[in-house]
Structure 1
Amino acid sequence: MISDVNFYLAAIPAVFFYGMGKGGVGGILGMLSVPLMALTVSPIQAAAILLPLLCVMDLIALYYHRKNCNYHELKQMLPFAIIGIIVAAYFMGSLPAHIVEFIIGGLAMAFLAQKFLCKKSQTPSKVNNHLLMLTSGFASTIAHAGGPPVSMALLPKNLPKAQLIGTSVVFFALINFIKLIPYTYMGQFDAANLNTSLLLVPIAFLGVRTGVWLVNRISQQLIYTFSYWVLFLVGIKMIYSGVTGG
């Protein structure tokens, strides 16, 4: 497994934040994970270490939320998300690491721009919905950051809260398990990465439990403000690394 202390200084909070997001504190926390870990290892390796952890957390979430999924919406979402996964897998296999860093930083900045500059939520057209799902599949494969496009597609539809959560849970569970295919093909699940993932499993569960405990005990706005600032700073660092090549 990875033995670099600096890696764990980044990976432990990254996995913990993702677990907190899964626990209900805020999905934005998941956006921080790959950029944080990519400060010490390549973005692809960071995403590969995280993916098995996400699959474990997804199985737990499916147990509670699968019955609330709107499967009509899901059937429209999946095909173009899978296309996005295929496109991302091609780029991940052919682009240098610093270009992937630039893409991750760009995704972070695009999310922040959408959040703070687009004040009005409108139901996307069918074409735009397909583009959002393609973007979600792409961003999810590159950096496990496919949540914002899905939110942009689903929130304006005013689904009941249980359906919104259930549909998102089932969608990302399926997407994450599909992503195992290109990551395996690229040889990212070697002994070092898998053992490192296994070592981080307790951190993931601790993050989930902390998120569940905190969800009604701390201001959501405080969490989001913290997350936005960290995402902004890490995104800038990723863009800088992408432009300078290191």
Structure 2
Amino acid sequence: MLEPAPLIAGLPWTGWAVAALVALLVGFSKTALGGLGMIAAALMALVIPAKDSTGAVLLLLLTGDLVAIWAYRKHADFRMIGRLLAPVLVGVALGAFFLTAVSDDVMRRTIGGILLALLVLNLWRDHLRTDTRAATLGYGGLAGFTTMVANAGGPPMSLYLLAARYEKWRFLGTTAWFFFTVNVIKLPVAVGVDIVRADTVALWAVLAPVVLVGTWIGRRVIGHVDQQLFERLVTVLVALAALNLLLL
């Protein structure tokens, strides 16, 4: 008789409730407010080990990505995505090394500190140029690094696109295709560093339908959010995600 997957067998009902909320937030974040994905990743780390949570959430994110790229397929800026891919790959490689070299606590606080620094920079976004090579390398590298170690690439990418004055639909389409591409690249790396295993796949299989419900809700909600409110919500969610990582 097959033994139950460890992550599933060890979860109490409260853990399942949190995991279901995580899946719902992941789906919602992919079609509405990306900053919620970071909060979802932090919540998952409360019920399973942080490094395992990174692998489990990656699979949930890929599920939401598939819906998002279809929903916003007409709005993506593929030239921007192409410019960012090289620095993102460097960031992913550095993040994979970081995952194997530091503790969960150091990992969380490092990402939280980076996000707070980016938020401070964002206060002067009217004076920031995002069309320079330095900005592309910096934000792209940070997005790759943070998405590899904590599935937290959304906040750096969000701040970059807000500074570039992307309107809501172009923002959603570009982030959808960008993170689908990045998450597909991350998947074999995650398998290689042993944060995606048979038990994380089993957990994903249970939670994937909840992700789809979240994407459906997000699609219904985002059409009623105007541009100014959208930008404010994204900024607030990034701040909450950063503080959550620093204070846990």
TM-score by length of 2: 0.81
Map Cα deviations across residues 1-43 of structure 1 (whole Å, 9 max, x no partner): 323224323322222112111222x111112011111122222
SS for the counterpart of 1:4 is coil
How far, CA to CA, are the matches of 1:119 and 1:134 in structure 2? 19
The structure-2 alpha-carbon separation of the partners of 1:199 and 1:192, relative to structure 1 and needing over 3 Å to count, comes to: same
Structure 2 Cα separation of the partners of residues 120 and 167 of structure 1? 21
Which amino acid in structure 1 is aligned with residue 126 of structure 2?
K
Alignment check: 8 A CA contact 1:23 1:208 kept: yes
Provide the rounded CA distance (Å) in 2 between the counterparts of 1:157 and 1:223: 17
Q: Encode CA deviations 1:66-100: one digit per residue, 9 max, x unaligned.
A: 34333222221100001000000001012122222
Per the alignment, residue 11 of structure 1 pairs with: 19
Match of 1:231 in 2: 241
Q: Hey, what's the Cα distance between the residues in 1 that align with 2:49 and 2:118?
A: 22
For the 8 Å contact 1:68–1:163, the answer to whether it is kept is: yes
| 1:36-75 alignment, distance < 5 Å | 36-75=43-82
- Residues 214-225 of structure 1: pairs in structure 2 closer than 5 A: 214-216=221-223
1:212 maps to 219
Amino acid at match of 1:178: I
The change in CA–CA distance for 1:152 and 1:121 in structure 2 (over 3 A counts) is farther
TM-score when scaled to structure 1?
Answer: 0.82
The equivalent residue for 2:96 is: 89
Structure 1 residue identity aligned to 2:23: V
Q: Is the 8 A contact 1:35 1:104 kept in 2?
A: no
Q: Which amino acid aligns with 2:247?
A: K
Structure 2 unaligned regions, length at least 5: none
Q: How many angstroms apart in 1 are the aligned matches of 2:155 and 2:114?
A: 10
CA shift at 1:193, angstroms?
1.1
SS in structure 1 of the partner of residue 47 of structure 2: coil
Return the alpha-carbon distance in structure 2 between the equivalents of residues 237 and 8 of structure 1.
23
Partners of 2:28 and 2:118 lie apart in 1 by 20
Cα 1:4–1:82, aligned 2, differ >3 Å: closer, same or farther?
A: same
What does residue range 155-170 of structure 1 map to in structure 2 within 5 Å?
Answer: 155-159=162-166, 162-170=169-177
Distance in 2, Cα, partners of 1:169 & 1:228: 17
Local SS of the residue matching 1:120: helix
- How far does residue 162 in structure 1 lie from its aligned partner after superposition? 4.4
CA, structure 1 residues 106+134, in 2 after alignment: closer, same or farther (shift >3 Å)? same
Uncovered stretches (5+) of structure 1, i.e. residues with no partner: 239-246
Read off the aligned partner of 2:191 and give its amino acid letter.
T
Q: Greater shift after overlay, 79-88 or 138-147?
A: 138-147
Deviations 1:174-218 (CA, angstroms, capped at 9, x unpaired)? 100000021010122222111011111122112112222333568
Task: Look up the match of 2:128.
Answer: 122
Overall identity of the aligned pairs, in %: 24
* 1:141 alignment counterpart: 148
224 and 160 in structure 1: CA distance in 2 versus 1, 3 angstrom threshold: closer
- The alignment yields a C-alpha RMSD, in angstroms, of 2.8
Name 1:20's counterpart in structure 2: 28
